[in-house]
Amino acid sequence: MNETAVFAVASRTDAKTVVWKDRVMDTQFNRIKRDIAIMGGKACIKGTRVTVSMIVTQISEGKTLEDMLVEYPYLSREDISEALRYAAWSVESREVEILPA
C-alpha cells in the first residue's frame, strides 16, 4: 500500500482522530465504496448493500467462499477477496493525537 498518500481526518469527541486513508481506498479498492447514503457509510461492495463487515462475519462463522457465492449470486470471487483485503487494510489505520499549536 502507498503509505505516502494524503489522508482525510475525521474528528472524534475524545480529541483524538481516526485517520482514514480515503485516497488509497479509492485507488486500491475499486470494488469497495463508502457512501453515507448507503448503509450509513459502511464499506460495501459497489452496487450492493452487502457490507465488508457482513462478509467478514460470514467467513468467520465458517461460511466458505463457495457458500457465499451461492447465497449471494450477485457477488464475485473478486468482490469477496477485495472485501477481505479491505478489512485487513482498514485495521491498519492509526489513531493520532493532535496537540494544539
Going from the N-terminus, what domains does the chain have, and what CATH number goes with each?
A: 8-92 (1.10.10.10)
pLDDT band at 55 (very low <50, low <70, confident <90, very high): very high
pLDDT score of 98: 73
Q: pLDDT digits over 63-88, tens only?
A: 999 999 999 999 999 999 999 999 99
pLDDT score of 96: 64
Cell of 58: 460470514
Pairing of strands 8-11, 95-97: unpaired
pLDDT score of 5: 38
E-strand spans in the chain? Answer: 8-11, 16-20, 32-33, 44-45, 95-97
* Stated pTM of the model: 0.67
pLDDT score of 63: 96
E-strand spans in 36-97? Answer: 44-45, 95-97
Across the chain, mean pLDDT equals: 78
Which residues lie across from 51 on neighbouring strands?
A: 44
Neighbours of 43 (CB within 10 A): 20
pLDDT score of 13: 41
Q: pLDDT digits over 7-29, tens only?
A: 444 444 443 334 445 555 656 88
